[in-house]
Each structure stands twice: as structure tokens, then as C-alpha cells.
Structure 1
Amino acid sequence: MANGLVEYSIEAKPEIKKIFEEAELPTPSFNQLKKNYNKVIDTFKKAIAKAKQSLGDYGASVELKDDYTDINLYLSEDGESGFGIKPNGDIVSVFSSSKEKGRSSYMLEMAISQGGRQLDCFDIYLTKIYETHGFKPVAKMKWDDEYIP
């Protein structure tokens, strides 16, 4: 992805990467994209939209924001997975296409290493994954069909 969109590449700590590799889980390369650059934001949005579509009904659980200004955006080298981190440490728009199974745990470790401290999710299967990385629910809201994605 050396097309002028990348600020720098990021890697997990060697000990974290080793754990994932020994468990035969994917450890894709990620890049932090240039901030507040329209071409970057468009590329990130297209990658999310493509992943959401590939996930079928579960794609609705991925947030595609209208505005990614001032959010650090990260995209895997192959463009199939990514996430954003807001200045307050909120991890947003975590996504991975259906063809790239098993990346969520590694992405969370990458997000934490880049300053991610909190995130929101629908309580489908995501809560259990997030809890394995130290996140704990601090609030739960009753489902309201008015806000269905």
C-alpha cells in the first residue's frame, strides 16, 4: 500500500506476535494512514463498505462513520481489515472482510498498542472477543428498533 496514503507501518510487540503465530492465528501487517487526507478517508470507507457487504447481516454491526476527521486510521496491507482510534482512545470502525477469518483478536492488540482504550459494540459475539483482551462492559442499553442499522 505504498501509494502515498501511508504514514507508517505498525507491528505488534514481538512477544504478542509470537503468541498469535504459535496458535496459527493471522498476524497481518497494518499501516497507519495519513490523517485528515480525503483520499485516505475515501480508501478507508471503501474498505469498510466492502467488508460490511461481505459479512451479510453481521455487516450491520460495523460502524461506517460519516466523518473520520481527526481519527487515526489503520488498514491492513491487503486492505481487508482495519480500525480507527479517536483522540480520546475510543476504538471505532473495527472491521475485517468475511474472507479474512480470525483477525479480530490481533487487530484489538494492535489497536491497544496504538492507544486504544475503549470501544462500543452490539452484544452479538463481539463482547466475548473484546473481554478476552481486557475490555469490560460498563453499560448496556436495551435494544430499540428505532436505531436499527
Structure 2
Amino acid sequence: MTALTKNNPFAASVYVYDEEEYARMQMLVTEDVTAGVALKGDEVVSVFAHQDGAHPGVAQSMLRQATALGGRRLDCFDTVLPKLYADAGFVPVARLTWNDDYAPDGWNYETYRRYNNGRPDVVFMAYDPSAVGSLYERGAGKYVTDYDDGIAKTQAYQAASVGN
């Protein structure tokens, strides 16, 4: 995954954990190692798909497999990613305003300029099987004041969904 991010101008959108952390996660990776996803408990993390991979569109398949294995929540920047995740059944539950103090290493404001002038919100999404194939509406989700509150909102959404 690290090698794939080196030449990708949008690589800063995906957090790359260290090997020890990945060793504690459930990993799904294509045989050519050009696409994958990890599960950190019920959280879907590190979704990646190299454009030159042997399996175009594999990210959707991997996301569906991740949800089948218990992936119930994720967060991402409000770029192209929420659209991808909405199609897999993730709904925006909360959002956090961009904070320059927490910009990822290697973040290039010019590269992401079309997304709120390089400062996209963080979108917290929860899995809803009835939403598979849905469209993402930019700006959806209630604003929260901090990252932990965004996580709590996705967990509360899941808890309410299980109770129905």
C-alpha cells in the first residue's frame, strides 16, 4: 500500500497504518496487491485501489465483502470517497469541519482545491444495508465539534439500526 501511494497525488486521503497495526486487523487484498481494504474491529480503513490494477471496480466488491465481515463504519474526506462509500451502503451520519492543524502528512491544498478550496470536511459514515446503491449528497450529515463525537454518532446510528 505504501508503494502505491508514492506516485498518487491523492494518497494523503488514505491513512497508512504501520505493519504492526495492520497485523492486528483483518485484511482483504487482491492477489496482485493493487487493491485492498482493512477492518479494524467494525471500522473499515485503508481502502485502496490502484488505477492500473487487474480488477477495475474492485473497490466496491471489497467494500461489500468488508461489510459482510462486520465493517459498519468509516470516515473519509469529503472528496470522491463518500460517493464510492455511499454506493456500498454507507450513509453520512456526521461531519467535522476541516482543521489545518490536523492536515495529513503530505496534504497538498492545491491538489484538493476543488474540495472546499483544499479543505474538505471529514465525513463519518455508517453502514446501512438498505442504502446499498445509494447516491451521496454533498454536505449530508450533521456537524460535530470533534472527531470522537463523529465516531460516537456512527456508533449510535449502528446501535439504533440493530434495535430496529
Question: After TM superposition, is the score higher than 0.5?
Answer: yes
Aligned to 1:63: 15
Tell me the alpha carbon deviations over residues 1-28 of structure 1, each in whole angstroms, 9 at most, x when there is no partner.
Answer: xxxxxxxxxxxxxxxxxxxxxxxxxxxx
- The structural deviation recorded for 1:139 is 1.2
Aligned-partner Cα distance in 2 for 1:96–1:79: 9
Matching residue's letter, 1:76: T
Amino acid at match of 1:51: L
* Deviation at residue 104 of structure 1 after TM alignment: 1.8
Instruction: Give the aligned length.
Output: 100
CA deviation profile, 1:12-59 (whole Å, cap 9, x unmatched): xxxxxxxxxxxxxxxxxxxxxxxxxxxxxxxxxxxx111212322x11
Matched ranges for 1:78-89 at <5 A? 78-87=32-41, 89=42
User: Aligned to 2:46, which of 68, 77, 93?
Assistant: 93
Aligned residue runs from structure 1 range 1-149, under 5 A? 48-56=1-9, 58-66=10-18, 67-87=21-41, 89-100=42-53, 101-149=56-104
- Asked whether the equivalents of residues 37 and 46 of structure 2 are also in contact (C-alpha less than 8 Å), the reply is yes
Instruction: Name stretches of at least 5 consecutive residues in structure 1 with no aligned partner.
Output: 1-47
SS in 2 for 1:106: helix
Cα contact 1:55–1:98 (8 A) shared by 2: no
Q: TM-score, normalised by structure 2?
A: 0.56
Q: Percent identity?
A: 37
- Give 1:34's aligned residue: none
C-alpha distance in structure 2 between counterparts of 1:51 and 1:134, whole Å:
26
> Structure 2 unaligned runs (5+)?
105-164
Show the counterpart of 1:35.
none
State the distance in 1 between where 2:79 and 2:92 align.
Answer: 13
1:79-108 deviations in Å (ceiling 9; x for gaps): 111111122x11111111231342221221
Aligned partner letter, 1:79:
V
Structure 1 residues 67-76 or 115-124, which shifts more? 67-76
Runs (4+) off by over 4 Å: none
Query: Which position in structure 2 is the counterpart of 1:5?
Result: none
**Does the CA-based 8 Å contact 1:74-1:84 persist in structure 2?**
yes
Q: Aligned Cα RMSD in Å?
A: 1.5
